[in-house]
Chains A and B, each alone.
Chain A
Amino acid sequence: MNELTRMRGKYVIAGIGHTDFGKLPGRSTISLNTQACKQALIDAHIEKSAVDALFVKVPTSAKEFMYGQKLAEAMAMKPKLGGSWDQGGAANMALISNAMAAIETGQCEVALVCYADNPRSGSRQVYARPRGDDAVYGWFSTAAGYGLIHRRHMIEFGTKPEDFAQFAMASRRHGALNPKAQLKLPLSLEQYMNAPMQIEPLRRDDCCLVSDGGAALVVMSAKRAIELGVPNAVPILGLGQGQTSAELPVRETLTSTEAVVSAKTAFKMSGFQPKDIDLIQIYDCFTVAGVMTLEDYGFCPKGQFGAWSKGGYLEIDGALPMNTSGGLLSETGMPGLQLIIEGVRQMRGVANLQVQKARNCLISNQGGTMHTHATMILGRCHD
């Protein structure tokens, strides 16, 4: 057993919390984060005083200096360590990993990991930002970067709009069945094909929601969870990460990322292979991101998503249920924590669309224009 595999199941997600998702005008990110942290502490059945580390993913739309410390102050906490971390949507799992490492080295015992943002009622400017000096060519926005990857995927593999639609339809079907989802509208192929294209080749339903909201979770060792009487701790069986270039022109390829490395690490830690996974929560900020994640992880042969996923393979009654609460396309556009929280609910057996007899759940997070990637595998509560 090596250092990596020794960590399998040693750490748990002890509690989860989140605010409503959607449009929450007037709510600051500090307010949303505080509410989510409060809920996570209640869910973990622990006192605030048990927490000695606070790791925050920086609010995407409104970065602030010393944000982590401001949040700690709002909760009258004096964490031994913490702060805000800027790594896009893979930051959630990076912070869980940082918390595990800090606990492992004796720097803290119980960590809160949280995120909140309010781009729906606040500013969406960050998503339409100029992309460096290339703005001289009209190169603006996060979406356009994904559009460039989406087109290259079509060029290299012949991926069709109908294939990307199949991904969106799975997330949207599950979101429509989630009473707490921001977008409760199932998607038909016809609706997908006929929707406007703001930045071609992306169609409206290839793109995730923009949402206000906050979410939090509590990380500690499995041993500490028993000592503190945490009732529903969910073990972390695998975790991995990988990163590639910030901008697209310097990447060797547009159609694969370090998601490959991230998954390899997580699978190795867990001892699982793709065929052992019972359900998945895949970061679907754009459909191509989800499709490429499934390919890079080894679930789907490269370039064959359409044939692989047909017949509802990724839907609740299919072989590999995906995004059972709706993902970023349907539940909330929040960058990733909602996927981890749904994974925890599934492993507790209390999800809205519960996958019966699921013994594990794989979750992906990613950030920027597929710059950063993280993979986590959770095991069943009380196993």
Chain B
Amino acid sequence: MAFEAFGVAAEVRFGAAELEAHVRAILPPGWRACDSARAIATFSLQRVEVDSYSVTINGSSAIEHASLDVALGLIDADIRMLIATKTSDWIFVHAGVVALGDRALVLPGTSFSGKSTIVRSLVELGATYYSDEYAVFDEDGMVHPYPRRLSIRSDDGAVITEHDVRELGGVAGEDRAAVGLVALIRYRPGAQWRPATISAGEGTVAVLTNTVPAQQRPGDSLRTVARALRDSRVLVGDRGEAGVAAEALFAELTAAGSEAPRS
């Protein structure tokens, strides 16, 4: 099965027909079928024996004797990395994103920074889901949806389950949005949400640390992130319980939407 997303083409091969539905479930948002000749990477998923699978990437063994979930997770992660690093028309920033109307809240952060938890809380408050993984920017600095299934970690961080945003009563965004608010959040148990405001320039620098192609395409990255943040507020702070910070951010985003000039 060859597919293309965000201008990057890849192929996933699987030995058994019953694997097709599993593979389709991990393909990136907005994927569409394409000619396998365009693929720049080939993933192969093979069942070795009952509940034991192997994965090769471009012909090299990546994992053997893995469960189906682990094998699919590996392919999923590598496809995401492939797209984020190889796309030439988009800038991928590691961030959670929600929106109200045409104004987006971007929550940059690396793994385990609690983005998904905040995103989930915001969706439950009524925000439109864009992503818990990437803020995908076009050359105008507008953010586009990347509504993969929401990852929810268990309290101890050891188990991750994925959920369609509709299962949480939310909706996924379909249109691009301007960035109205950026929040750089660190999870600290017991912390009270008392964010400080930093400048757009400082925010640009901070967001660059989460920008996937910042080293490979620094000019595009710098220009795009600066454009994205030109009319946004940038907050930085520690949060404890996610719901409190989410409610405050929801109010901030509501205010940002009402104050911003409509395009």
Partners in one complex: no
